[in-house]
Amino acid sequence: GENVEQHPSTLSVQEGDSAVIKCTYSDSASNYFPWYKQELGKGPQLIIDIRSNVGEKKDQRIAVTLNKTAKHFSLHITETQPEDSAVYFCAASNGFGNEKLTFGTGTRLTIIP
């Protein structure tokens, strides 16, 4: 089955700086890679996703890159703000009707004002 590894487990960044979280996956058939943000007391919320037919996707201050050859993908947050403090999870799935998402272990991001 799929295995997703996520690093780092904790990350502290000065407000205004960039943050990068990296994930690797094992199943070369995986083709859908979402990122979730979980704030205290809430469930995970989808913030961005990427599909295997593109190498990069951007949405305002967040971007995700995918390297299918190396089987890794990364989340980039620029101009970080205090509200970016949360736990971030990456996941991978072999789409096209497959209901299963395999999640990484999460990264606790703290933005230092």
Partner 1 sequence: ETGVTQTPRHLVMGMTNKKSLKCEQHLGHNAMYWYKQSAKKPLELMFVYNFKEQTENNSVPSRFSPECPNSSHLFLHLHTLQPEDSALYLCASSQVGGSGYNEQFFGPGTRLTVL
41 near partner 1, judged by CB under 8 A: yes
Contact 34, 18 (CB under 8 A): no
C-beta closer to partner 1: residue 72 or 78: 72
- Does 36 bind partner 1 (CB under 8 A)? Our answer is yes
Give the nearest distance from C-beta 103 to partner 1 in angstroms: 4
Residue 113 lies near partner 1 (rule: CB under 8 A): no
Q: Are strands 19-25 and 72-77 parallel, antiparallel or unpaired?
A: antiparallel
Which one of 23, 25, 34, 88 is in contact with partner 1 (CB under 8 A)? Answer: 34
User: Among 21, 93, 109, 111, which residue sits at the site for partner 1 (rule: CB under 8 A)?
Assistant: 93
Q: Should residue 107 be labelled a site residue for partner 1 when binding is judged by CB under 8 A? A: no
Does 72 engage in binding with partner 1 (CB under 8 A)?
no
Nearest 5°: the CA angle 88, 69, 95 is: 60
Q: Of all helices (H) and strands (E), which one includes residue 51?
A: strand 45-51
Half-sphere exposure of 113 (CA within 13 A, CB side): 2
